[in-house]
A and B are shown apart, each in its own frame.
Chain A
């Protein structure tokens, strides 16, 4: 049985016992904080923060050591950033993770701009997630604030990568009130190219954007997604998550299921928003210093307290999807039985963001 599955079952028993010290289902490793795009909605990194984020990435040797520590706790890993392809040794790192550490699920979250120069990395990946919020190059260019022509290049890359086979391609779309019509076009693009489509509402200040929540078009779009998913369309988001997007109900959040590791090897505890807020309830424990996953978690709990319960904040897929799938084993069972994409692409370890 894979480490992820073992962790899932262990967590079920822990939850039954009222224990929220859960094992990770998937770890997101931000290999670099640098980005080459400036997406208007990005609240974390982005090119405008490159000079100020102050986090140098690890050397390849340290990054490998870090992954060794992660692998002892889970076998599902997401490489993210910033833009992870800006990390100079990414391909070597991903290859190491696949061949030497035998991760069972490796995912790359990328904006797609640098992918044509790094196509070899795909050989080592199980999933490739590319952000795309619009298929109209002009609209997409306005969102990502890249050089002219960037958007069209990304769209072409997505289409060609999907045709190529190998890593499963997933398009992740951030829903904004200004681009809801475009999101529908992205959905159509994905269906036409056999690409899995996933989405999250735009987050403003760790809360779904107000203009979306009061938008009839947004609710109609989510209702359409649910209907399409049920009719077999390649929608990659569980039914509980899609329903949650509809009404933003509180949900039991278990941030330790999808922890973030920051570029310097710091484990963001208990979750990125609380860690980033700088309050006394969150912070970092460096995995390389701790030398062991459990030790880093132990230090974090000692410093910042037990992981929180529902804080009713983020509704992006990253923390929500693993939390919902862990809290609702019957819902997960339904996903696996009724929706092949959820089964094959591993919905329980899907945490884009």
Chain B
């Protein structure tokens, strides 16, 4: 996504970018997957798959502006409601919570109070949860005092668990569930800088930041393929199945004054290479680190890098011959003792699944498993059994109605974002001349996360190249400011932070 964004912006300025994609399909985590096919009621049904359902959140402004500018912005499917499913053994409770947060009558940052207007939310809580409200408030206010991404504050050594200290298990569960939708990790493994950045970007500063839509179909079809078409129409070249194996920097080349270096890749088992005036690395963090550490010219500096890690995930899809009764939310989070982390009722979102639901009266759910590692290490059959059991616990009416199931395992490429030290975490501008980076893991003074961060850093990488060529850069759309009350509370909390900071210390 980030690479295509950068290439598209360069091509719009009449440059001729060459996109090398290691996979056979473009789009990284946004690409579509192999289809699933099965027989049911005398008919063959075929469904697309993907890395996982993607949300286009209201703060994704640069992404939407870019797609619209190229007339490839799909008509999105607005999210209606998200549900919190809490399970402890046989005790399972559900509460609708998405609308309570984004439609709250209480302004941000106190809009979570809207949850307390929902009786079902109260039913999830215990007495210790009520007493834990003050530590919770303190934790959220602490998150207002610092913007790790924009201020480049690594919050070294701190995890989400540190922020949640003193909270009751239920509330920790709830915020963990919310956070896992993006960061895909458990509290002890979630860096505090990523957690705070997530809270600020997606929910804490504005009620409407939690408003989002779904793509009408998988990300490959809805976004990536139209982007590739637009890029090719502008003269860009795209090569798939081209795994880059080495970067040779210009200083080692006779043509060092006019090129960034030579890129070597393998395609169909054959080594190929090309000199490039500018190089943009739009690989995920693990692949970037691997490439830089295996290229002799970059290995020395790359050894110091500590790039954000990637998380492996498992995506389960289950088809049933009946739909759950009284279904209000099309998505939600699981907390408590569920193995599953979140879910999406596909027959409420994607066209092909809606058609399936209407034709058969059935339903289909996608559920994500983000870990821990021991759970993901289990065999496919065991993970599927857990998923089927969990869904049956939450929607008992679906027990015995399973028709088909599929499991997709994603490689450890889902970014677990954190803010690293400048010498350890690559930014758009790298230590190497004419070599730039973009992606949702890249260090940049911008609050955006995930798809929007990929887009923003893609545009910035393109701008870096355009700047070197003395061409006009692309202006970025600013992110929306906090709500008035959140802005005031934020200012006050920053004052508290400054007052508490030891003299002479510039970092947090």
Contacts and interface: CB of A to CB of B under 8 A. Distances in A.
Interface residues on A, range: 20 to 34
28 contacts: A204-B68, A204-B69, A204-B71, A205-B71, A205-B72, A205-B73, A206-B73, A207-B65, A207-B68, A210-B65, A213-B65, A213-B477, A247-B480, A248-B61, A249-B208, A250-B58, A274-B75, A276-B75, A277-B74, A279-B75, A281-B354, A305-B348, A308-B80, A309-B99, A310-B58, A310-B208, A311-B76, A312-B213
Contacts of A279: 75, 77, 216, 351
Interface of A: 18, 204-207, 209-210, 213-214, 247-252, 273-274, 276-277, 279-281, 305-306, 308-313
A54 to B, nearest CB: 20
B475 A214 contact: yes
Nearest to B61: A248
A193 B354 CA distance: 53
A270 to B, nearest CB: 9
B26 to A, nearest CB: 21
A310 B79 CA distance: 8
A205 B66 CA distance: 11
B272 interface: no
Given A213-B477, A214-B477, A312 B58 contact: yes
Contacts of B401: none
Contact of A205 (B67, B79, B211): B67
B64 A310 contact: no
Contacts of B78: 308-312
Contacts of A247: 480
Given A210-B66, A279-B351, 12 more contacts: A206-B75, A207-B68, A209-B68, A210-B69, A213-B65, A214-B476, A247-B480, A279-B75, A279-B216, A281-B216, A309-B99, A311-B213
Given A306-B80, A312-B64, A280 B354 contact: yes
B165 interface: no
Contacts of A249: 208, 480
The 5 A-B residue pairs with the shortest CB-CB distance in the complex, in nearest-first order: A207-B68, A277-B75, A308-B78, A214-B475, A205-B68
B41 to A, nearest CB: 20
Contacts of A306: 80
B40 interface: no
Interface in B4-60: 58
B431 to A, nearest CB: 31
Interface string B190-222: 000000000000000000100101001000000
B355 interface: yes
A155 B76 CA distance: 38
B56 to A, nearest CB: 8
A279 to B, nearest CB: 5
Contacts of B103: 18, 252
Contacts of A280: 351, 354-355
A309 B216 CA distance: 15
Interface in B61-97: 61, 64-80
A311 B215 CA distance: 11
Contact of B76 (A18, A251, A313): A313
A309 B80 CA distance: 6
B485 to A, nearest CB: 16
A309 B79 contact: yes
A207 B74 CA distance: 11
A210 B475 CA distance: 9
Given A210-B65, A250-B208, A310-B211, A273 B75 contact: yes
A281 B58 CA distance: 19
Which of A210, A248, A249, A276 gathers the greatest number of chain B CB atoms within 10 Å?
A: A210
Contacts of A206: 68, 73, 75
A312 B75 contact: no
B208 A277 contact: no
A305 B67 CA distance: 26
Contacts of B348: 305
B447 to A, nearest CB: 16
A205 B78 CA distance: 16
Nearest to B73: A205
B99 A18 contact: yes
Contact of B77 (A213, A252, A281): A281
A277 B480 contact: no
Nearest to A305: B348
B279 to A, nearest CB: 27
Nearest to A311: B78
A320 to B, nearest CB: 14
Contacts of B475: 214
Contact of A312 (B70, B74, B211, B216): B211
Contacts of A308: 77-78, 80
Nearest to B355: A280
Nearest to B213: A311
Contacts of A281: 77, 216, 354
A205 B80 CA distance: 22
Nearest to A273: B75
Contacts of B72: 205
Nearest to A20: B80
A252 B79 CA distance: 12
Contacts of B61: 248
A82 to B, nearest CB: 22
Given A250-B208, A308-B78, A207 B73 contact: yes
Nearest to B81: A309
A269 B79 CA distance: 17
A282 to B, nearest CB: 8
